[in-house]
Structure 1
Amino acid sequence: MANVDWFVISHRLCIAQEASRLGWKVFVAAEDTGRRKEIEVDGIVFIDFKFSRSGINPISELKTLLGFRKLYKQIAPDVVHHITLKPVIYGSVMAKLLKINGVVNAISGLGYNFTGDRKSLVQKTMLKLMKFGFKRKKLTVIFQNLEDQSELEKLGVINQLNSIVRIKGSGVDLINFKQFDLPSFERIKILLPIRMLWDKGVKELKEASDILKEKYNGKIQFILAGLADEDNNAGVSASYLNNWQDGNYVIWIGYQKNMIEVYKDSHVVVLPSYREGMPKTLIEACAIGRAIVTTDAIGCKECVDEGINGFKVPVYSINELAIALEKLVSNVDLIKEMGQNSRLKAEKEFDVNNVISMHLNIYKDLYVNRV
């Protein structure tokens, strides 16, 4: 269970496929944005399940919760795997009420309501529901970093009955995402490969690019690859991105289905995010063999060894971000060296085969030990 089909495809489809090949009957429930056929492979059954990712209307949210009830009564699963925060919250509540045998909750970052020291009624409600849903046996929580785990333990969400597993992100296919030669250095290309959200550091990168423009206009190019997610509370508007891009120094290419080609055409990957679980974009950048500039934020910092495969700057920083980018664009040899080190890091830490194996072991343990 996840928010949307494209997230399943990019982050978890390989796990579902392997589970199906091993004999599990796999259902994937998410909103169909037109890509369900890519999920309906290897016997996987796709269910179009729509709900607001960031809605707070009580009536709408109650309907969503009842939608989970209807779905789980229809399928009667032995194990449910919830991905992204709202499915984790509502799915856990309903799985407990319906006495579903095993629950896997993937915490891939705590999201908008847990960034910027936000303390709202929405967050309080989320925490109450999580505490209720998590208080049960045979519930495994997958964390991508220690900080998210510590935060939920401090908030009292994690229960002593829960099993905790740490997995570094969703991994990367090291065969498809192989190391590619860098493109021509005639113009150095800096790639921001994200959904365009303020929490990803879009404003900070915009202002850093402004600092560098006078000196490097015509020598470097910023490429913004991702959709303007205006349905999200933290979404950057298309008008902001259109005003930023000029078709030369900065270009916004929107959502790209084939990200490998986008990575191949870049020299440096940047992500000035405020907080992540474990950003798949940086894991993929490592696999392709690209130097990285990111923040020392939760999740991001695990993808960069400082001065080895990239640089880390403080969250919200602008001048430091510009300085880090300049260190790279002014040193071609450093771009090459850090790119090579990124690939070595991916091979050591981010192999998707290890991620698949760990997930399947979790499913098996919950199923074998069912009542």
Structure 2
Amino acid sequence: MKIAVIHENAEALLAGYGSLLASMASMGHAVNALAPGSGPDAAAGFEALGVEYAMYPLTPRGLTPVGDIGTLLHLKQVLYRIKPELVLSMTSKPVVYGSMAARMAWVGEKKTVFALVEGPGFAFAGGGGLKGRLLAALARPMFRAGFRSCDGVCFRSAEAETFFRELGVLQPETRTVVADEPTPEDRDRAVLAFLGMIPTD
């Protein structure tokens, strides 16, 4: 199976979820990591895991309409070329634009789209000032569209799931799970089970 994992930072993806990517690759899947990177070490890190790596343009903080549209279209092109059967997006903007691009990229072919959410993210951490409220108001429909593009959403904590449900951006029928296991090994197993890649315990 072809898999695409989308993140906002290559180094952070390797540090936080390298073991998950390695597990996917060791199962015989063709894993593609899509993330902006800052140097050749990232490419070497993915290669060591048996994972293909590609960069894409992203402004990780704030809302930049022109840049964000460029990100969406670039991801759509990359996913159209790869044609993965499973897409897993992590971190705020990839959850929105990666999930939407996955739905747009190859209409009519079998695919599953998932998001992995650590917490509320930058858009909802701006405080109560005018700028923070405006950013949160603009981000709300974007997250709604991103989550609507997903077959399931994996949250790293129950608090994160509660936050987005109370925000009104998660559909009641959206399949969710909380993977709050304390070790990377247990977390990876929980995520893989949610993705349908290994049997559930």
The TM-score by the shorter chain falls in which range?
0.7 to 0.9
Residues 89, 126 of structure 1: 8 Å contact kept: no
Instruction: Give the letter for the 1:160 counterpart.
Output: P
- Amino acid aligned to 2:134: L
Task: Specify the alignment match of 1:110 in structure 2.
Answer: 120
Q: Residue 73 of structure 1 is aligned with which of 76, 80, 89?
A: 80
TM-score (norm 1): 0.47
Q: Secondary structure at the match of 2:48?
A: coil
Match of 1:61 in 2: 68
Contact 2:96 2:145 in 1 (8 A): no
Counterpart of 1:120 in structure 2 is 133
> Superposed, which structure 2 residues align to 1:192-207 within 5 Å?
none
**Per-residue deviation at 1:55?**
4.2
Q: Structure 1's 82 and 365: CA in aligned 2 closer, same or farther, altered over 3 A? A: same
| 1:95-134 Cα shifts (integer Å, max 9, x gaps) | 2333472122111121232122465333223211221232
**Where do 1:34-53 residues align within 5 Å?**
34=39, 35=41, 36-53=43-60
Q: Give the structure 2 partner of residue 149 of structure 1.
A: 161
Q: Residue type matched to 1:89 in 2?
A: V
Structure with the greater alpha carbon radius of gyration: 1
Whether the 8 Å contact between 1:93 and 1:130 is mirrored in structure 2 is no
Percent of residue pairs identical: 21
| Cα drift, residue 17 of structure 1 | 0.6
Root-mean-square deviation over aligned CA pairs: 2.1
Q: Which residue of 2 aligns with 1:158?
A: 170
| Residue 17 (str. 1) matches residue 18 (str. 2) | no
SS in 2 for 1:33: coil
Q: CA deviation at 1:356?
A: 1.6
What aligned pairs does 1:181-220 form with structure 2 within 5 A after superposition? none
Task: In structure 1, list runs of 5 or more residues that go unmatched.
Answer: 169-348, 367-371
Residues 199-219 of structure 1: per-residue CA shift (max 9 Å, x gap): xxxxxxxxxxxxxxxxxxxxx
**1:353 matched to 2:182:** no
Letter in 2 for 1:50: P
Q: The residue matched to 1:32 in structure 2 has which SS?
A: coil
In 2, Cα distance between equivalents of 1:126 and 1:96: 19
Report the equivalent of 2:3: none
- 1:328-343 paired onto structure 2 within 5 Å: none
- Cα distance in structure 1, aligned partners of 2:56 and 2:30: 18
**Does structure 1 conserve the Cα–Cα contact (< 8 Å) formed by 2:8 and 2:94?**
yes
The count of aligned residue pairs is: 185
Q: What CA distance in whole angstroms lies between the structure 1 residues aligned with 2:174 and 2:69?
A: 26
Distance 1:166 1:85 in 2: 17
Instruction: Return the offset for 1:69.
Output: 1.0
Shift in Å, 1:163: 1.3
Closer/same/farther in 2, CA of residues 55 and 117 from structure 1, 3 Å limit: closer
1:139 aligns with 2:151: yes
Residues 56, 107 of structure 1: alpha-carbon distance in 2 compared, 3 angstrom cutoff? same
Q: Distance in 2 between matches of 1:86 and 1:108?
A: 12
Q: CA offset at residue 154 of structure 1?
A: 1.4
The CA distance in 2 between the partners of 1:357 and 1:161, in whole Å, is 24
SS at match of 1:164: strand
Listed as ranges, the gaps of 5+ residues in structure 2 are 1-5
Q: Say if 2:179 is the partner of 1:167.
A: yes
Superposition deviation, residue 86 in structure 1: 0.6
Tell me: CA distance 1:23–1:46, structure 2 relative to 1, closer, same or farther (3 Å).
same
| AA in 1 matched with 2:119 | G
Shift of 1:365: 5.6
TM-score of the aligned structures, taking structure 2 as reference length: 0.83
